[in-house]
Structure 1
Amino acid sequence: MKIRLVTNGVFTPIEEIEVAVKAPSDGFYWIDADVEDLGLLQALFNLHDLAVEDCLTEEEQRPKLEIYENQYFLVINSIRFDDEEIFLRALNIFLGRHYIITVTRTKIHELRSIKPILLEQEVNRADRFLYHLVDTVIDNYFVVGDRIESRIESLEEDILMHTKKAHLTEIIGLRSEILWLKKMLGPQRDVIATLNKKDLRLIDDQLQKYFGDIHENAVKIYETFETYRDLMGNLREAYQSSVANRANDIMRVFTALTTIFMPLTFITGVYGMNFDYIPGMHDKHGSIVLLIMMAVLGFGMFYFFRKKDWL
């Protein structure tokens, strides 16, 4: 657990957690904690039992905002994409008048990347910290969205150039991830809308208007992933069409080869019969003539099929 006094964006480490219980003369306290620290934090900051229970559960939490007497409990999801799977990591936030507590199970990139933003903007209030944190989390969705779009385009090109069975597995897996993510984006969009529209006494009225801009971005993200879902459906159709075309090409080649060998098989069948009187049977050059005739016939049919673009 790390305790910091934030004053105009400048961080001052605090050793004793008890110091953060009382409001500082200037700035606010940011407590970056793990789930193991919740017992101590609950006793000191009177965290609500239901909020602590939500933090401790290992099941995925839907984004939400709970309003308690002296604090707000907010759950939003940070996103990460490693080109194979989409990961959502719950970011649990307790917002008080003079403090903000972030609780996570794993390290979240946005908590590190927000530090220079706080310094640049000279953040001096906990509600402004919340605004910049939520804004950073939502902006990261656009970065991940661009990577997913690039992956879809690359996958589409691979399918058109050389279709593989592995492509179908990847399409199904990525589409499932996008559908699952889309289900989480809806509640998250609604939570940000609440931060923008509902009367919240722990958030400055002027600052609430800025949450409207974040809400617009959340709506864009939701619509973007809706588009990705449709693209994955189109990609699956393209894969099936490519497989069907490939099968048709193979069958066309086999059919053409069978057609070429049909007359050759007929000729060899006739000259393989046990009759005494077959044209050219007793000619000493008969076999050579027959082979030349079969070769001319075969190559002639092959040339004809190539000219017709059947092969």
Structure 2
Amino acid sequence: MKIRLVQDGVFSTVEDINEAINPPTNGFYWIDADVDDLIVLQPLFTLHDLAVEDCLSEEEQRPKIEIYEGHYFIVINSIRFDDEEIFLRALNMFLGKHYIITVTKQKINELRTVKPILWEQEVNRPDRFLYHLVDLVVDSYFSVGDRIEDKIEHLEEDIVLHTKKTHLNEIIGLRSEILWLKKVLGPQKDVIATLNKKDLRLIDDQLQKYFSDIYENAVKISETFDTFRDLMGNLREAYQSSVANRANDIMRVFTALTTIFMPLTIITGIYGMNFTNMPELDWSYGYYIVLGAMLCLGVGMFFLFKKKDWL
């Protein structure tokens, strides 16, 4: 657990948690905690039992905001994409009048990148800290969306040029990730809408207007992932069409080869008949003449098919 006194964007480390119970003369306290630290924090800051239970739960938490006496409990999801799978990490926050407590189970990059912004903006209130942190989390969805779009474009190009069976697994896997993420974006958008529109006494009225920008970004993200969902459907159709075209090409080659060898089979069939009186059997060069005729016939038919673009 790390306790920081933030005054005009400047951080000061606090060793004793009891100092954070009372409001400072200037600034606010930021307590960056693990779930195990809630045992200590809950009685000191009178955190609601249900909110603490949500933080301790092993089940995946949906984004939400709960209004309790003296503090708000807010859950949003940070996102990460490693080119194979999308990961969402819950960021639990307790917003009080003079403090904000962030509780996470894994490391979240936004908690690190928010520090220089606090210093640059000379942040002196916990609600402004909340605004900048939520803004960073929402912006991270744009970067992940760009990487997903690049992956879809690369996959589409690869399918057109070199269709493989593994492409279908990639399409199904990525589409499942996008659909799963869409279910999360709805509640998260609702949380930001609440921060934007609802009368919340712990958030300054002037600051609430800035949450409207974050809400617009959240709407854009949701629409972007709607587009991704449709693109994945188109990509699956392109894969199936490519596989069908490839099968047609293979069948066309097999049909052409069968057609080429059919007259040769007829010729060999004729000379495989066991008749005594066959004039060609007495020719000195009959065998070579027949082989040459078969070769010329096969090559001639091959070039004929190529000219007609059947091969």
Q: How many residues are matched?
A: 311
Shift of 1:193: 0.4
Matched AA of 1:10: V
Provide the residue aligned with 1:110 in structure 2: 110
Shift of 1:237: 0.8
Provide the residue aligned with 1:99 in structure 2: 99
Provide the residue aligned with 1:67 in structure 2: 67
Provide the residue aligned with 1:262 in structure 2: 262
Matched AA of 1:70: G
Matched AA of 1:64: K
Shift of 1:285: 1.1
Alpha-carbon distance between aligned partners in 1 of 2:130 and 2:279, rounded to the nearest angstrom: 98
Shift of 1:231: 0.6
Provide the residue aligned with 1:158 in structure 2: 158
Shift of 1:157: 0.9
Shift of 1:281: 1.5
Q: Does 1:223 align with 2:228?
A: no
Matched AA of 1:34: D
Q: Does 1:204 align with 2:204?
A: yes
Provide the residue aligned with 1:290 in structure 2: 290
Shift of 1:280: 1.3
Alpha-carbon distance between aligned partners in 1 of 2:100 and 2:242, rounded to the nearest angstrom: 54
Alpha-carbon distance between aligned partners in 2 of 1:139 and 1:27, rounded to the nearest angstrom: 26
Matched AA of 2:145: G
Structure-2 change in CA distance of 1:297 and 1:87 (3 Å)? same
Provide the residue aligned with 2:15 in structure 1: 15
Q: CA RMSD, aligned part only?
A: 0.6
Shift of 1:63: 0.4
Provide the residue aligned with 1:252 in structure 2: 252
Question: For residues 25-64 of structure 1, what are the structure 2 equivalents within 5 Å?
Answer: 25-64=25-64
Provide the residue aligned with 1:77 in structure 2: 77
Shift of 1:277: 2.1
Task: Name the SS of the counterpart of 1:181 in structure 2.
Answer: helix
Alpha-carbon distance between aligned partners in 1 of 2:285 and 2:299, rounded to the nearest angstrom: 21
Alpha-carbon distance between aligned partners in 2 of 1:137 and 1:209, rounded to the nearest angstrom: 18
Unaligned runs of 5+ in 2: none
Matched AA of 2:230: D
Q: Does 1:191 align with 2:185?
A: no
Alpha-carbon distance between aligned partners in 2 of 1:274 and 1:147, rounded to the nearest angstrom: 72
Matched AA of 1:265: T
Aligned identity (percent) is 77
Matched AA of 2:67: I
Task: Name the SS of the counterpart of 1:280 in structure 2.
Answer: helix
Moved over 2 A (4+): none
Q: So what's the TM-score if we normalise by structure 2? A: 0.99
Task: Name the SS of the counterpart of 1:281 in structure 2.
Answer: helix
Offset from partner CA, 1:39-89 (integer Å, 9 cap, x none): 100010000000000001111111000001100000000000000000000
Alpha-carbon distance between aligned partners in 2 of 1:309 and 1:271, rounded to the nearest angstrom: 33
Unaligned runs of 5+ in 1: none
Alpha-carbon distance between aligned partners in 2 of 1:36 and 1:113, rounded to the nearest angstrom: 24
Q: Does 1:2 align with 2:2?
A: yes
Mean Cα deviation higher: 9-18 or 278-287: 278-287
Offset from partner CA, 1:11-44 (integer Å, 9 cap, x none): 0000011100000000000000000001100010
Shift of 1:288: 1.2
Q: So what's the TM-score if we normalise by structure 1? A: 0.99
Task: Name the SS of the counterpart of 2:310 in structure 1.
Answer: coil
Alpha-carbon distance between aligned partners in 1 of 2:171 and 2:19, rounded to the nearest angstrom: 53
Alpha-carbon distance between aligned partners in 2 of 1:78 and 1:279, rounded to the nearest angstrom: 88
Matched AA of 2:38: L
Matched AA of 1:224: T
Alpha-carbon distance between aligned partners in 2 of 1:282 and 1:59, rounded to the nearest angstrom: 90
Alpha-carbon distance between aligned partners in 1 of 2:294 and 2:186, rounded to the nearest angstrom: 71
